[in-house]
């Protein structure tokens, strides 16, 4: 999640592309902003973040402050349509509910909860970004901030976050490292090669208790597998669903010879 960037800044554009595109992962942000904000904030960072994620063929999630059937602002209608096609639109409000001032602040807690990390690049003394960062910290999420000029009012919020313990980041690699610590970028676990690789310990013991030919009753399986009779039926059902065993005349047998 990136918050409160000015897209007119070269530094901003560079950070968006260098953070999101190498990740090609999940960007969680808000396509809807308060109407009372200035133009660059209404159509700025959130739209840029979503577009960067889409360009990287990553998953992007837009958290809305109204019903998912009401595109807001209207200038983001096409972008929301793209997100709906390959990502996700999320709202706690039913269709037909229009965005309102208080709903934007309420929405920040959902953004923080769904995000592995909140990165605040620019924020004033009072801002929605600071609200999202506060929720992220309360939820145990990673909070990062980018330092800026000490004379910039747009960096005051970032400096306060850093003083209160937020992680200082200036490069995309630093964000990647921090999010990776939380497991967001962990390597995918090896997938089972076949059905037998996915068996639990009890399922495997029950499976191995069945003879290559013929069948056994649940009580006989319990004795052979050293599993209590009351705990045998569950693994048998799961093995049946996996197509590894079948029940005939009250006895269970393998559906295919054991290797």
Give the CATH number of the domain where residue 130 resides: 3.40.50.450
Whether residue 173 sits in one domain with residue 223:
no
pLDDT score for 232:
93
Last residue of a domain, one of 181, 207, 225: 181
In the chain, the percentage of residues whose pLDDT exceeds 90 is 37
Task: Mark whether 177 and 204 lie in a shared domain.
Answer: no
Cβ–Cβ under 8 Å, residues 61 and 27 = yes
What's the pLDDT score for residue 181?
54
Shortest CA distance to 121 belongs to which of 49, 39, 62? 49
**Domains contained in the chain, number:** 2
State the distance between the two ends of the chain, measured CA to CA, in whole angstroms.
50
Instruction: Write the pLDDT tens digit of every residue in 215-226.
Output: 999 999 999 999
CA distance 141 to 60: 18
52 & 107 share domain: yes
pLDDT at 204: 92
For the chain, 259 residues long, the average pLDDT of each consecutive 10-residue run is: 47 47 52 37 64 81 90 86 90 91 87 87 83 91 92 92 94 79 54 74 93 92 93 92 90 83
75: which 2 tokens?
């200038």
Q: Indicate if 61 and 122 belong to the same structural domain.
A: yes
187 assigned to some structural domain: no
Q: Give residue 244's domain range.
A: 195-254
Whether 189 maps to a domain, the answer reads: no
What is the predicted pLDDT for the residue at 135?
A: 92
pLDDT at 256 (0 to 100): 78
Q: Are residues 66 and 177 in the same domain?
A: yes
* CA distance linking residue 247 with residue 236, whole number of Å: 9
Looking at the fold, whether 108 and 205 belong to one and the same domain comes out as no
CATH of the domain at 223: 1.10.10.10
Same domain, 45 and 133: yes
Which pLDDT value is given to residue 56?
79
């Amino acid at each position: 999640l990136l918050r409160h960037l000015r897209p007119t800044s070269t530094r901003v554009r560079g950070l968006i592309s260098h953070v999101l595109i190498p990740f090609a992962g999940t960007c969680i942000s808000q396509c809807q902003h308060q109407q009372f904000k200035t133009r660059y904030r209404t159509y700025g960072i959130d739209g840029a973040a979503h577009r960067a994620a889409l360009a990287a063929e990553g998953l992007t999630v837009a958290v809305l402050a109204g019903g998912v059937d009401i595109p807001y602002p209207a200038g983001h209608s096409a972008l929301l349509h793209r997100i709906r096609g390959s990502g996700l639109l999320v709202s706690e409000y039913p269709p037909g509910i229009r965005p309102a001032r208080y709903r934007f602040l309420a929405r920040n807690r959902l953004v923080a909860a769904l995000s592995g990390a909140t990165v605040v690049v620019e924020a004033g003394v009072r801002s929605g970004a600071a609200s999202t960062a506060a929720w992220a910290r309360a939820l145990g999420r990673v909070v990062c901030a980018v330092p800026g000029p000490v004379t910039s009012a747009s960096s005051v919020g970032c400096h306060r976050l850093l003083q209160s313990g937020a992680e200082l980041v200036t490069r995309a690699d630093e964000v990647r490292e921090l999010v990776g610590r939380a497991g967001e970028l962990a390597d995918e676990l090896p997938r089972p090669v076949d059905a037998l690789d996915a068996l639990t310990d009890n399922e495997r013991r029950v499976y191995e208790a069945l003879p290559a030919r013929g069948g056994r009753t649940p009580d006989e399986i319990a004795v052979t597998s050293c599993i209590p009779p009351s705990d045998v039926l569950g693994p048998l059902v799961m093995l049946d669903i996996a197509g590894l065993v079948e029940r005939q005349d009250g006895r269970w047998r393998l559906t295919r010879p054991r290797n």
